[in-house]
Structure 1
Amino acid sequence: MYLPMFVQPTPRNGEHLNAEVNKELEIRVKAEATHSTITDVIISGPQNITNHMTTQGEFVIRWTPIREDLGEHFPICFIAEGVDGSSTYQSEMRCVLVEVRRTNVKAKVVCQETTMTVEVEKSSIPGVHEDHLRLSDPSNSACDLQRLSNSTHIIGVIPLNACGTQIEEDDDNLLFKNEITTFDNPNDIITRHHQVEIQFYCQYAKHGNVSLGFSTHRESITVVEKGFGTFTYQFEFYQTSEFTSVVNPRDYPLDVVVKQMIYMDIEATTTVNNTEIFVESCRAAPYDNPNYHPAYPIIENGCNVDETVQIFSPRHKRHFRFGMESFKFIGLHDQVYISCSVILCEAGNPNTRCAQGCINSTSPQSADHHHRKRDAPMQTARHHISQGPLRLIKTSESSVTNMNMVFMAGCFLAAIAMVCGFVLYKAKATGVKYQPLPTFET
């Protein structure tokens, strides 16, 4: 297939979208082709419309309506373009119709060197209670929206490297994105009753004044669960297999060469005695996103998948130590993040997931047994913890500089003086409404 074909999250042809005056509208477009390389998306629409390609292969179309656009309808059309050698191939044309409306959700976001602060006026989302709102990943106690909220505003101070914050980049900017959504049951992963989805992000220019910098090192995560109280997971890299010298957080991103052994340690800290840790899965990806695909499996269902994995003796039952040879993703990705799914169990209990160890996922009996044990009170829910990035370097230095690698390192290590904050608002029942926030300087 040479012709590009649109895939999710591209909107349907003829879809109606809602935008608001002085608020940025974002339309995400993605196309795939088997025998050609997607290089561009050609767009047609109102003035000041822009198009940027992200590192995840998506194209982001952005447009901010002005007051004169209120009440008007604007078509935005786009075509994906693929290239194979000297031949160029184009997809079908898709168009969406954008209606410009008045502002609904009232909110603002302040971007700082290591955090995003978002404030939403409660009066602008009537009927939505704060104890039914959460961030993308609420497992860390710092991500609890009730912690700082008051009688008039829902307030969250979100670390750039926690709470499910995703990192995205284009040619000029780094974007740190998260969202506030409603939920019915905190353990649910799907819902049909969401009332609002408030997306927000901070945009950092790649070129700016350097000061303290954004630390890429991931801090520990703290979790509170019934029966286990408050406990903490810490994921660290070590210098050698002796596990006596932890890698300094200031040394991130870590420079390694392909096939170099890397050593990792995951530790659970809790006041509850007689507990043990179980690492159910570990995956590697070029981005710090546990849901990123494709990801490379290292450990699956408690079983070693990568042939270079070595398991080392822990200091105690709440430790898991392992090592493996470093590798590089095929393509332009020069960095790797390791993300693991971990469980804390009652030690010595034969009915826990920890006691089961490696499970053959193809066995129906094992899968059913696993499902029943997952909800047992003698073990916690699964929690994701990640660390990185590892930055792959060549064994012999070349005179040609890898600009992509230098760009990434510089962006993550540099604190940018000028940043932008935006909120995107979506009412699921009535279509898409986008609302960015004012711009602030730190």
Structure 2
Amino acid sequence: MQFAFLVDPPAPSCEEGLYLPKFISPTPLNGERMYAEINKELEIKVKAKVRYGRLRDIMISGPLNTSTHRNTNDEFVIRWTPQPDDLGDYHPICFAVESQADIYQSKMRCVLVNVKSKDVNLDVICNETSMTVHVDRASLHGITEDHLRLNDPSNTACSLQTHSNSSHITAVIPLNACGTQIEEDGDNLLFRNELSLVDKSTDLITRKHQLEIQFCCQYPKRGNVTLGFTAHRKNVTVLEKGYGTFTYEFEFYPDNQYQKRIDPSAYPLEFYLKSRIYMQIEATSTLNNTELFIDSCRASPYDNANYQSTYPIIENGCTVDPTVEIYHPQHNKQFRFSMEAFKFIGQHDQVFITCSVMMCEAKNPHTRAAQGCINSTSVHYVHHHHRKREAVIQSGNHYISQGPLRLRRSAEELGARVTNLNLNLNMVFIAGCLLAAVGMICGVVLYKSKMLKSKYQTLIES
């Protein structure tokens, strides 16, 4: 028997983070104990950094059926689903990260996973626009919906009281609301949220050891996108206590005459770079003495009001994008504006416009609408604003979105790209994908881990 050894040259420096990968958050600590439930997928996120070179791969040692992939946040994700035979066992999962040069590796780090039975009986149903979560009250040992909240409970659609009954706490969470976060890897889109235990529904932070019920829906990014695909967003109707019922309509128009909206069947809409996009937001209210105010509008490659990496168009009532033009409306519940078309850098060929809007008492000098454009340093106004809301002179903020908008290719570009068309599907096709494939569901009781966000810039044609 013969052995051959290949001796690599020494690293220029053994300091972690230079040539040798260094682990950073949200990577668990070495020796950390974790808990997993039978038939529930455990997910461990590993992230590292290196100054010289690039991260290449992750090496793992763990139970059978352990898998890894790399997501768009440049994290390595280790996944494992315990089986009934694993109940009560302790399983070590060890990992190390390699740099691109193949000869530099991080230190080996291990966690110990204890497999236990279900703490919380959870059922998650995924459909094309929302996640429905049913939690068995008996498994919560006296915890009620009054002590649970989603990531962002400010939207009335996120109320746990609406759908809950005597046996189950139920939440119907839109994919673009309630603080739902998006992750993606090469093959799937994941929508995540969680139910957190709080002393009071108004609590913003906690320093207690709290229970959190995390859940997600996973959808394939590729599939038949022609079946039942509905792109045009419906109107948003809001009933707010003390302020009546109002409906928001967000539409696109072919020109600045605003005579007839673009037919919803024409969506997704296509524009050439720098061509002008005409938009109108209109409110219908049960109260006559009201006016519409647009606090902000942002563009995103995804239809998600909570998506962090977005491009500002209007911010704090001020136009931010230099191409924005505002037009005179027919009445004070209408807002008309336009801007030049753009695209996000990378394989994000589609754009959604999301605006934060509110209704205010007309001609009242203390409302947000009366303040108009304010800069972000106007701290005193924030306190003034909350005091006035209690007097019911304006509604809360509500998000409305419309799209998608797609970049129209020239004939030359289309000829060059036709062979790669199937590789450039974007998130906006998720509704069609859902009709071609079944969403996979994952849910587990864990402690909260922070997500890292991708950053985007706008690409302007030269």
TM-score with structure 2 length normalisation? Answer: 0.80
* 1:260 CA drift (Å): 2.1
Aligned to 1:370: 382
1:418 equivalent to 2:431? Answer no
Partner of 2:362: 347
Taking structure 1 as reference, are residues 408 and 382 closer, same or farther at Cα in structure 2, changes over 3 Å only?
A: closer
In 2 relative to 1, CA 382–157 (structure 1 residues): closer, same or farther, beyond 3 Å? Answer: closer
Moved more, 265-274 or 5-14: 5-14
Which residue does the alignment assign to 1:392?
Answer: 407
Task: Report whether the alignment pairs 1:297 with 2:309.
Answer: no
User: What is the SS of the residue equivalent to 1:348?
Assistant: coil
1:281 equivalenced with 2:296 (yes/no): yes
Does residue 1:266 correspond to 2:278, yes or no?
Answer: no
Larger Rg: 2
Distance 1:236 1:9 in 2: 41
1:21 partnered with 2:38:
yes
Residue pairs, 1:98-247, within 5 angstroms: 98-192=113-207, 195-206=210-221, 212-213=227-228, 215-247=230-262
Letter of the structure 2 residue corresponding to residue 256 of structure 1: F
Q: Distance in 2 between matches of 1:328 and 1:45?
A: 42
Q: CA deviation at 1:333?
A: 2.6
Query: Structure 1 residue 423: deviation in Å?
Result: 1.9
Shift of 1:261: 1.6
In the aligned structure 2, how far is the partner of 1:217 from the partner of 1:164? 22
What whole-Å deviation, never above 9, does each CA across 1:46-92 have from its counterpart, x for those lacking one? 21111223344443321101122222222223344554xx7886555
Partner Cα distance (2:79, 2:339) in 1: 42
Q: Would you say 1:52 and 2:69 are equivalent positions?
A: yes
Aligned residues: 425
Secondary structure at 1:406 match in 2: coil
- Aligned CA RMSD, in angstroms, stands at 3.2
SS at match of 2:436: coil
| 8 Å CA contact retained: 2:88, 2:116 | yes
Q: Distance in 2 between matches of 1:254 and 1:139?
A: 31
Aligned partner of residue 415 in structure 2, secondary structure? coil
| 1:155-186 alpha-carbon deviations (Å, 9 max, x no partner) | 23344444444443333333333333344555
Whether 1:43 aligns to 2:63 is: no
Could you report, residue by residue, the CA deviation over 1:323-358 in whole angstroms, capped at 9, with x for unpaired residues?
111222233332323232223221111112211111
Match of 2:324 among 309, 315, 318: 309
Instruction: For residues 296-332 of structure 1, give each alpha carbon's deviation from its aligned partner in whole angstroms, at most 9, with x where no partner exists.
Output: 2222222111110111222322222221112222333
Q: Choose from 296, 320, 324 the match for 2:335.
A: 320
Q: Which moved more, 1:200-209 or 1:122-131?
A: 200-209
SS in 1 for 2:366: coil
Q: Per the alignment, do residues 402 and 212 of structure 1 end up closer, same or farther by CA in structure 2, a change over 3 Å counting? A: closer
Task: Return closer, same or farther for 1:217/1:97 CA change in 2, 3 Å cut-off.
Answer: farther
Letter in 1 for 2:33: H
Q: Compute the displacement of 1:126 (Å).
A: 1.8
Of 346, 366, 374 in structure 2, the residue corresponding to residue 331 of structure 1 is 346
User: Is contact 1:139–1:223 with CA below 8 Å preserved after alignment?
Assistant: no
Identity of aligned residues (%): 55
Q: Whole-Å Cα distance in 2 between the matches of residues 423 and 192 of structure 1?
A: 24
* Partner Cα distance (2:63, 2:437) in 1: 31
Give the 3 Å change call, closer, same or farther, for CA 331–122 of structure 1 in structure 2: same
Q: 1:376 Cα deviation (Å)? A: 1.6
Structure 1 residue 68 and structure 2 residue 85: aligned? yes
Which deviates more from structure 2 when the two are superposed, residues 258-267 or residues 32-41?
32-41
User: Can you give the 5+ residue segments of structure 1 that lack an aligned partner in the other structure?
Assistant: 432-442
Contact 1:235/1:387, CA 8 A, preserved across alignment: yes
Is residue 406 of structure 1 aligned with residue 425 of structure 2? Answer: yes
Unaligned runs of 5+ in 2: 1-16, 450-462
- Within 2, Cα distance between the matches of 1:286 and 1:82? 30
